[in-house]
Amino acid sequence: MQNFDFILFGATGDLAMRKIFPSLYQAYYDGLLSLEGKIIATSRTKFGRKDFLKRLETQSKIHIKNYDEKKWEEFTHNIYYLSININEVKEFNLLNQQLSKNSKNIIIYFSISPEFFIQACENLTLVGLNDKRVKIVLEKPLGMDLKSCCEINEKISKFYKETQIYRIDHYLGKESVRNILTLRAFNPIFQALWNKKYIQCIEISVFETLGVENRGEFYDHTGALRDMLQNHILQILSLIAMKIPKNFDANSIRKAKLKILKSLKPLKIDTLNKQVIRAQYVKNEEFKSYLEEKNIKAKSQTETFVALKAELMNKTWQGVPFYLRTGKRMAESFAHIVISFKNKKNTANDINKLIISLQPHHRISFEMNIKKIESDTDFETKILNLNLNHNSTMQSYERLILDIIESNPASFNHKEELEAAWKWVDSILKNWKNKKSELFFYPAKSWGPKQAFELIEKDGCEWYNI
């Protein structure tokens, strides 16, 4: 592993403590980070290095799975802390002075609100931290709609080249997601069946049993559509539906994904309300309603659940419905892709299904029908399971941070991908803003509103719940 310096803006935040520092430590524990690399933590909070390390000890160490006291001491020995006001360019000079001498690989990670991205990039540029040594990492959400996304991309491009920008989506670091293209490309059985002739419908679901927790202020401005569907779920859809490129390099993969995102059939006003269901959880036994959560506006219309039907306008997939859904305070927590294959009898109970589980388990399952023992006419469904869970499986952020250090952008969003996704989602947001669609409700810790079930069942499909 080459030497590097890692600058983290927002180092005292929840994401930094839960994901970024534990991932950096784990990479060091695994022998994948150089001892010579500096980690420079920054935030607005004014305290010294010792105070920051104490905070790291109490808030970050608890999220580490392979803690070793000696390794932890070695790891934290290379962590430094600076209090920085993003609006003060003179403070960025101090940051520049903290870097290793002759550093040739500098990663600057923005674990901060996107509203600060542009100012931070400008000040970094003013102190010379935008040359070819530097890569910047942008956390989501990148904008709140197409206009704001384009504005951020355009302004940042004045300071950094596209090859220097890594827009992170942690779902693209999941082992099971990274396995999708391999599964499709190197198994002839799936190559032959991966099209509208053999596939009845495709479902992508991401459910959480948690509510908004301490993210009320952020979530009430964002909602489920922006928080999960516009980025994670549409990225998964593009990997499922894209044409397998001849080469698996970053440029080829990004082009293939972009082609799919641009082929999403626009949701027109006359069909939008029939194809998009939005809902909000309400009180159920000991579980609060969304409106009772901390920092939620009274009478908020923000959705905590979305289910929709998407279609692609290309020869391979035309006519195949893609059902997408995500929600908070659901009955179970899971994320999976379900591909339902057609059968001549067209009955739901004997359809072959390929299930790619993304969380909490990493596995690939195939539902197939076999003859019941001692019967010549009856059959039963059995599941073939391929378990991808392994003690050595990297967490998403660890894998993606290592990709950044090694300058591998294949699992990161190109600006055109994000803009294409926002363009498709914008019609939904505008419809909601104009109050032209109904907000439904569902009990906390349930499977969602009945309208979501009606959406998929009218096409002869069904949600797969585990």
Query: Which of 412, 363, 352, 403 minimizes the C-alpha distance to 168?
Result: 412
CA-CA-CA-CA torsion for 42, 48, 50, 55, nearest 10 degrees? -50
Q: Is 197 annotated as a binding residue?
A: no
Cβ–Cβ < 8 Å for 305, 452: yes
Residue 379 has a pLDDT of 79
Q: Is 221 labeled as ligand-binding?
A: no
Q: Maximum Cα–Cα distance for the chain, whole Å?
A: 81
Q: Which ranges constitute the DSSP H helices of 83-138?
A: 89-98, 117-126
Give dist(CA 232, CA 268) in Å, integer: 23
Cβ-based neighbours of 246, under 8 Å, separated by 6 or more: 252
* From-to residues of CATH 3.30.360.10 in the chain: 172-393+414-457
Q: Is 174 annotated as a binding residue?
A: yes
Strand order in the sheet with 134-138: 79-83, 38-43, 5-9, 106-110, 134-138, 165-167
Given a contact cutoff of 8 angstroms between Cβ atoms, the answer to whether 206 and 225 are in contact is: no
**HEC string for 320-362:** CCEEEEEECCECCCEEEEEEEECCCCCCHHHCCEEEEEEECCC
For tokens 């998009």, what's the residue?
276
φ, ψ dihedrals at 206, nearest 5°: -135, 105
Per CATH, the number for 172-393+414-457 is 3.30.360.10
| pTM, entire model | 0.93
Q: Helical H runs in 226-351?
A: 234-241, 250-262, 269-275
> Which segments of 179-303 does DSSP mark as H helices, in order?
180-185, 188-193, 216-224, 234-241, 250-262, 269-275
Question: What pLDDT score does 349 carry?
Answer: 60
Three-state SS annotation for 427-465: HHHHHHHCCCCCEEEEECCECCCHHHHHHHHCCCCCCCC
State the pLDDT at residue 1: 59
| Distance of alpha carbon 266 from alpha carbon 312, whole angstroms | 9
Rounded CA-CA distance 443/246 in Å is 47
CATH class of segment(s) 5-139: alpha beta
Write down the pLDDT at residue 66: 86
Q: Is 259 annotated as a binding residue?
A: no
Catalytic residue among 63, 77, 221, 232: 232
| Phi and psi angles of residue 450, each rounded to the nearest 5 degrees, phi first | -60, -30
Active site residue 390: no
Alpha-carbon dihedral angle through residues 309, 190, 389, 391, given to the nearest 10 degrees: -130
Cite the residue boundaries of each domain of the chain with CATH code 3.40.50.720.
5-139
Q: How far is C-alpha 451 from the chain's CA centre?
A: 26
Is 170 annotated in a binding site? The answer is: yes
Residue 140, annotated ligand binder?
Answer: yes
Least Cα distance to 78 among 39, 50, 29 occurs for 39
Tens of pLDDT along the chain (466 residues) come to: 568 999 999 999 999 999 999 999 999 999 998 878 899 999 999 989 999 999 999 999 999 988 999 999 999 999 999 999 999 999 999 998 888 877 889 999 999 988 899 999 999 999 999 999 999 999 988 999 999 999 999 999 999 999 999 999 999 999 889 999 999 999 999 999 999 999 999 999 999 999 998 889 989 999 999 999 999 999 999 999 999 999 999 999 999 999 999 999 999 888 899 999 999 999 999 999 999 999 999 999 999 999 999 999 999 999 999 999 999 999 999 999 999 999 876 555 668 999 999 998 889 999 888 888 877 777 788 889 988 876 656 889 999 999 999 999 999 999 999 999 999 999 999 999 888 899 999 999 999 999 999 999 998 899 998 7
342 is in an annotated binding site: no
